[in-house]
Amino acid sequence: MDPGTTQRNSKDYTSNMAEHNLDSQQASRLIFAAISKTLKPVVRLLLHYGIGYPQLIALLKRLYVRAAEEELNTVDKRVSDSRITLLTGVHRKDVARLRKESPEIQQEIAEGYSQDNPSDSPNDNTASLGARLVAEWMANPRFLQEERENNPPAPLLFRDLEKRGRADFCELVETVCRKDIRPRSVLDEWQRLGIVSVSDDIISLNTEAFAPKAGLAEKAYFFGRNIQDHVEAGASNLRGSAPPFFDRSVFYDQLSQDSVEKLRALSALGASELLTKINARAHSLQMKDIANKTDSAQFRFNLGIFNYSTAQSQPEEATCEE
């Protein structure tokens, strides 16, 4: 409880709006207000990187058309330009033009960079490579210090030249990437990003390196993927999907900067422990599903944890958990 403010009971915001007898206009207003809050930090980010309103509008048109195609795509009805216009409000000429775009153009736009300079931004596979390698290092018993408490990731030689059967960095990379990526290239990039440190030819993992400390391309990729999944979970809950996705938070106001720092440290510790535990369990389950060659091994799982703090000019009503 927060004695400094009025305390409300914890609420579950995943219930279907129909249960509250909201009509279509009321529901639209509520969703529009929520989207306005969601988009404000996105717009600030766009402004920071010089991306203006015309570029965003062009992107939104494409997203509306693609989303409408997915919504209307049924076996018994043809998806026409007119139906998409009616659903989205995008002009029929724009709908026709956007639906005729080549897959190459769509891919270029989705990746957010020009094909003339593809090294500026990685695709999903290359951007997530670092995360998959870190996850493997922190979960695969082959690369762990099993004699130590909580089995931390073991320091690795780059290559076991003496052939003593010890795990090494090259084996780690080849476990995830097979022979597609050179281990030396991975090591050089990881040193640049601060993911590993090298001393006396021993490579040690920065155990807090769930996200790179540097590298805009990698940060942008994970920002897009994680925010997308969080919004998908919340949107699914608002549509009344069952069972609901877990989407809760702890919120307090009227805190001092010192108190915020204490909460931040506690959050970092708890989040690191939980992510490490989930990572180990997920790796074990994945290996089991792959070994069993089950047809149901086609799902993905994403768990995200965040914290945010800022000074506020107008105190809000505080709640322990939302």
* 157-193 residue pLDDT tens: 999 887 777 899 999 999 888 777 889 988 998 888 7
Put the strands of the sheet holding 196-199 in their side by side order.
156-157, 202-205, 196-199
pTM: 0.70
Report the C-alpha gap between 184 and 191 in whole angstroms.
11
Q: Compute the half-sphere exposure of residue 239: CA atoms within 13 Å on the CB side of its CA.
A: 9
- Paired with 144 in beta bridges are 153
Report the C-alpha gap between 251 and 262 in whole angstroms.
15
Q: Give the pLDDT of residue 200.
A: 87
Structure tokens at 36: 């306005």
Residue spans of the chain under pLDDT 50? 1-19, 113-124, 210, 317-319
Report the C-alpha gap between 168 and 185 in whole angstroms.
15
207, 138 in Cβ contact below 8 A? yes
Q: Give the pLDDT of residue 202.
A: 93
Q: Give the pLDDT of residue 214.
A: 55
Q: Give the pLDDT of residue 322.
A: 57
Structure tokens at 73: 């795509």
Report the C-alpha gap between 175 and 170 in whole angstroms.
8
First and final C-alpha spacing in the chain: 13
Q: Give the pLDDT of residue 62.
A: 92
Instruction: Please spell the DSSP secondary structure of 179-203, one letter per residue.
Output: TSS-HHHHHHHHHHHTSEEEETTEE
Structure tokens at 210: 């769930």
Q: Give the pLDDT of residue 219.
A: 82
Q: Give the pLDDT of residue 157.
A: 93
Instruction: Please tell me whether residue 292 adopts helix, strand or coil conformation.
Output: helix
Residues 6 or more apart in contact with residue 120 via CB below 8 angstroms: 113, 114, 217
Pairing assessment for the beta strands 156-157 and 196-199 based on DSSP bridges = unpaired
79, 67 in Cβ contact below 8 A? no
